[in-house]
C-alpha cells in the first residue's frame, strides 16, 4: 500500500465530481423543501408502526436463518476473519501493506454499512467478542445473556457513543493511526472491555455498549428484515426505522457518526489545509478540536431543531431529540455512501489481495495475492458523482419522511407542521454543509 490511500481516508471529492456544486446543492435543498410540502399536504396521519407493520418471512427462509447450523456458520466466519486479522497484526510487518489496516479501517468500519443494510444486524451475528463470551459461558456453565449485574438503564447507548468516538479519533485525528502498535492496542483494548462488560452485564452490554454492534443495528433498521415476537418479518425500511429503541445517548451516537464523516471531508478541504499549514498551533490539536466541534455541533443543531417546537402536557421538550434521532440514520448512510464508496470498493479489493500475504513474505495463502484492483468506478466519474449526490439527497429525503411520521405521532395537532420547521431548517443546513464538504474535499 504505497500510494497513501490509507492516509487519505475517504478518497473522492472534487476530482470525482464532474457536476456543478451549486446545482447539486440547489437541487438537494429543493428536494427537501418539496418533500416536506408534499408530506404536509398528503401525510396527515401516521403510517409506520413497528408493532403492527410487516409480514412473516417465507417459512423456509426463517427456518434457515434461525437454524443452529446457520448461526454457527456466521460465528465461525466472524471468528475466522478476526483470527486472520490478529495473525497479521501480531506477527505481520509494520507496513501499510499489512492487511490489518484495511480490515480495521475499511472492511469493518465502512463494510459494516452495506452488510447491515442488506442483511440486517450483521455484527451481532458475526461478532467475535460475542463468540468468545459464549465460549467462556459454555466452559463455566453460565448463561451468556445474564451477567453479574443488571445493565444500568440510564447509561443507554452512551458507552457505544464513547467507543465510536474513540474509533473515529483513532482513524481521523491520531497521527500514528497507520502504525501497527496503536492499532494493536486499540483492538486489544476493545476486546478486553467487551469481554469484561459481557461478563458483568451479559449480552445486554453488547446490544448497548459495543460501538460496532450499536452502529450495525442502527443501519440494519433500514434493511427490509425485522423481528417481532421472535419471528422473522419483512417490512418497509421506513417501518423498520420506526422500531429504533429510544435510549439515552442515541443523539450522541448519531452525532459521532454524522459529525465524524463530515469532518473527514472537511480536513481534506483546501481552506482547512491552508489554515493548518499557516497556523503556529499544533496540527494535532487543531484536528482534535475540529473533530470535537463537528460532533458537538451536529448534536446541538439537531437537538435545537427538534426541541424548538410546542409539546403536549405529557411530553418533555428535551425528550424529543432522542425521539427523533432515528431520522438521522438514513442521512448517515447517505453520507457514508457519498464519502467512502470509492474507498470501500477499491481499497477493500486491495485488502483482500493483501490478506493472502499477512506476514509480508510473498505468500499467497488465500489465492487472492495475484488479483488486481478493479478501478471501474473511478473510470466513470459522472456515474460516481451522480451516485454520491443521489445518496446524500435520498438520505435526507428519507430522514424528512421518518421525522414527519414521528412528529404526527408525538406533537399536538397545532404543532405537527409548524413544529417541524426548525428540524427542516437543520436538515437543510446538514444538506448544504454536507454537499459543500463533499465537493470541497
pLDDT, tens digit only, all 441 positions of the chain: 444 444 444 333 444 455 567 767 777 788 788 787 877 777 778 888 777 788 999 999 999 999 999 999 999 999 999 999 999 999 999 999 999 999 999 999 999 999 999 999 999 999 999 999 999 999 988 888 988 999 999 999 999 999 999 999 999 999 999 999 999 999 999 999 999 999 999 999 999 999 999 999 999 999 999 998 889 999 999 999 999 999 999 999 999 999 999 999 899 888 899 999 999 999 999 999 999 999 999 999 999 999 888 776 667 788 899 999 999 999 999 999 988 999 999 999 999 999 999 999 999 999 999 999 999 988 988 888 888 888 988 998 899 889 888 888 888 887 777 778 888 888 888 888 888 887 776
- Residue 370 CB partners (closer than 8 Å, separation 6+): 364
In a domain, 318, yes or no: yes
Q: Which conformational region is residue 155 in: left (phi greater than 0), alpha (psi within -120 to 50 degrees), or beta?
A: alpha
In this structure, what are the phi and psi dihedrals at residue 232, rounded to the nearest 5 degrees?
Answer: -75, 130
Containing structural domain, residue 49: 15-440
User: Containing H/E element for 226?
Assistant: strand 225-228
Q: How many domains does the chain have?
A: 1
Asked if 227 contacts 121 with a C-beta cutoff of 8 angstroms, the reply is no
Asked if 252 contacts 163 with a C-beta cutoff of 8 angstroms, the reply is no
In a domain, 1, yes or no: no
- Angle at the Cα of 378 from the Cα atoms of 374 and 380, rounded to 5 degrees: 110
In a domain, 2, yes or no: no
Q: Which triple of cell numbers denotes residue 240?
A: 423498520
Q: Which one, of 351, 335, 433, lies nearest residue 390 by Cα?
A: 335
In a domain, 47, yes or no: yes
Q: Whole-angstrom Cα distance, residue 313 to residue 350?
A: 57
Q: Which one, of 294, 309, 207, 209, lies nearest residue 257 by Cα?
A: 294
The dihedral through the CA atoms of 216, 291, 385, 341 has a sign that is negative
What are the strands of the beta sheet with 225-228, ordered from one edge?
Answer: 55-56, 231-234, 225-228
Q: Which one, of 382, 439, 434, lies nearest residue 32 by Cα?
A: 434
- Residue 325 CB partners (closer than 8 Å, separation 6+): 244, 246, 250, 251, 253, 254, 302
Which ranges constitute the DSSP H helices of 50-95?
A: 59-65, 68-91
In a domain, 433, yes or no: yes
In a domain, 10, yes or no: no
How many CB atoms neighbour CB 256 within 10 A? Answer: 29
Query: Contacts by 184-193 with C-beta closer than 8 Å and gap 24+?
Result: 184/89, 184/90, 187/86, 187/89, 187/104, 190/129, 190/163, 191/128, 191/129, 191/132, 193/163
In a domain, 8, yes or no: no
Q: Whole-angstrom Cα distance, residue 11 to residue 195?
A: 34
In a domain, 39, yes or no: yes
Amino acid at each position: 500500500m504505497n500510494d497513501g490511500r490509507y492516509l487519505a481516508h475517504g478518497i473522492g471529492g472534487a476530482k470525482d465530481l464532474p457536476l456543478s456544486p451549486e446545482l447539486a446543492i440547489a437541487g438537494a435543498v429543493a428536494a427537501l423543501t418539496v418533500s416536506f410540502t408534499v408530506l404536509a399536504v398528503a401525510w396527515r396521519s401516521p403510517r409506520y408502526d413497528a408493532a403492527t407493520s410487516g409480514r412473516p418471512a417465507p417459512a423456509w427462509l426463517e427456518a434457515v436463518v434461525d437454524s443452529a447450523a446457520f448461526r454457527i456458520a456466521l460465528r465461525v466466519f466472524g471468528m475466522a476473519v478476526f483470527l486472520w486479522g490478529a495473525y497479521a497484526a501480531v506477527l505481520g510487518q509494520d507496513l501499510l501493506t499489512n492487511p490489518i489496516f484495511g480490515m480495521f479501517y475499511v472492511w469493518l468500519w465502512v463494510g459494516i454499512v452495506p452488510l447491515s443494510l442488506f442483511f440486517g444486524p450483521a455484527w451481532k451475528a458475526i461478532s467475535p467478542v460475542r463468540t468468545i463470551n459464549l465460549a467462556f459461558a459454555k466452559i463455566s456453565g453460565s448463561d451468556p445473556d445474564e451477567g453479574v449485574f443488571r445493565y444500568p438503564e440510564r447509561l443507554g447507548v452512551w458507552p457505544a457513543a464513547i467507543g465510536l468516538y474513540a474509533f473515529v479519533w483513532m482513524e481521523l485525528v491520531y497521527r500514528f493511526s497507520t502504525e501497527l502498535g496503536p492499532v494493536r492496542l486499540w483492538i486489544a483494548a476493545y476486546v478486553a472491555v467487551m469481554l469484561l462488560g459481557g461478563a458483568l452485564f451479559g449480552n445486554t452490554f453488547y446490544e448497548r455498549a459495543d460501538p460496532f454492534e450499536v452502529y450495525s443495528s442502527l443501519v440494519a433498521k433500514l434493511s427490509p428484515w425485522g423481528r417481532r415476537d421472535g419471528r422473522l418479518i419483512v417490512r418497509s425500511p421506513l417501518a423498520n426505522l420506526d422500531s429504533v429503541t429510544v435510549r439515552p445517548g442515541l443523539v450522541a451516537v448519531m452525532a459521532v457518526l454524522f459529525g465524524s464523516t463530515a469532518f473527514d471531508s472537511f480536513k481534506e478541504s483546501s481552506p482547512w489545509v491552508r489554515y493548518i499549514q499557516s497556523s503556529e498551533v499544533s496540527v494535532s490539536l487543531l484536528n482534535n478540536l475540529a473533530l470535537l466541534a463537528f460532533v458537538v455541533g451536529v448534536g446541538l443543531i439537531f437537538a435545537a431543531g427538534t426541541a424548538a417546537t410546542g409539546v403536549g402536557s405529557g411530553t418533555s421538550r428535551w425528550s424529543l431529540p432522542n425521539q427523533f434521532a432515528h431520522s438521522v440514520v438514513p442521512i448517515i448512510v447517505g453520507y457514508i455512501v457519498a464519502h467512502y464508496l470509492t474507498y470501500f470498493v477499491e481499497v477493500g479489493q486491495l485488502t483482500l489481495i493483501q490478506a493472502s500475504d499477512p506476514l509480508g513474505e510473498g505468500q499467497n495463502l488465500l489465492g487472492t495475492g495475484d488479483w488486481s484492483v478493479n478501478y471501474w468506478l473511478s473510470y466513470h466519474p459522472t456515474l460516481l458523482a451522480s451516485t454520491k449526490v443521489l445518496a446524500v439527497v435520498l438520505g435526507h429525503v428519507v430522514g424528512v419522511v421518518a421525522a414527519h411520521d414521528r412528529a404526527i405521532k408525538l406533537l399536538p395537532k397545532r404543532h405537527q407542521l409548524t413544529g417541524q420547521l426548525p428540524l427542516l431548517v437543520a436538515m437543510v443546513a446538514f444538506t448544504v454543509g454536507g454537499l459543500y464538504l463533499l465537493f470541497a474535499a
